[in-house]
Structure 1
């Protein structure tokens, strides 16, 4: 009973965070809410259908062990859907490939006064953020469905307390997904603050260097 009450109490925080971020995002970025819940729902439905098929086909036993080639494929898909770190590394690598050559080009071209600001910066940031949000939403859907099925199907080594823990983790992941989007959408205010800070005379040497690196471009 104490564990149940503790889990319920802990679940209130992510639920409140989900409600707050949804309420804020619905004012100006309602499509973001639909996108997160779509990824969550899609992963939940697919997870349920695959788990149901796997049990009926005895690809997965009541101990959660995978069998055969189909089991290896399902195991790989499950691990991939929960690999938040791997997804972040992949998205980060793609962003680096897009932006780093532009930064290096800016520096080398600047020696000749021909530097121009990198492009696709906003798009790259959006790609990285949505990659993270998608990963968190998908992982939340998978973690909600698979352990729920395992507990309802009376799999071995699956207790009610473990099931409650996975539900809490699923809530935390989807709450984190909405929080990331909320912070991303509110970066405009932070950008204006940073721009005002940059205008301070303490940063004047940086502005002088930027103008020197693009001096040929401004003459055209």
Structure 2
């Protein structure tokens, strides 16, 4: 008795209209995920920035400015999380562009082309760079405040004077480590859109060649 067939069903058993409808549904789902990820990311980053600002204000106003030595760490955490969300969003955008181009290839019409045509050249890369540079400026400012407070421990009678060089060393190490992590996270997300789009395009091209469509 022959066993049941295994593996994917060849796309030749589906009509082109069915495939296009599925691709359009997937495009819309990817668009919803992009919107949800962007919204949640904005809220998380706004909350993180608010907590950091309030914490710094309370530390200075309460006479505990030595806590500012931890400020770069807080900024780095928010910064890295923002880069992670940017990477995920850009990967989804690249995925959606690949799907939209496949729909256009199959139909000959840009039936759904928001990412691939309508806003393809709206300067999103420049926007990401602007936000990144703003984040770098904030991180540098926090590092400056941290170093100022760390070197203040060298003053006789200041908090932590007995271990001043330890605090200075830890602050410097933390800033250097944070800078390295931020730089790495930015580097890995810089081409997320293009690389993901290319993988989707290659996937469909390989499937088309295998099935002889």
- Whether these two folds match at TM > 0.5 is no
Output the TM-score relative to the length of structure 1.
0.39
Structure 1 or 2, whichever has the larger Rg, is 2
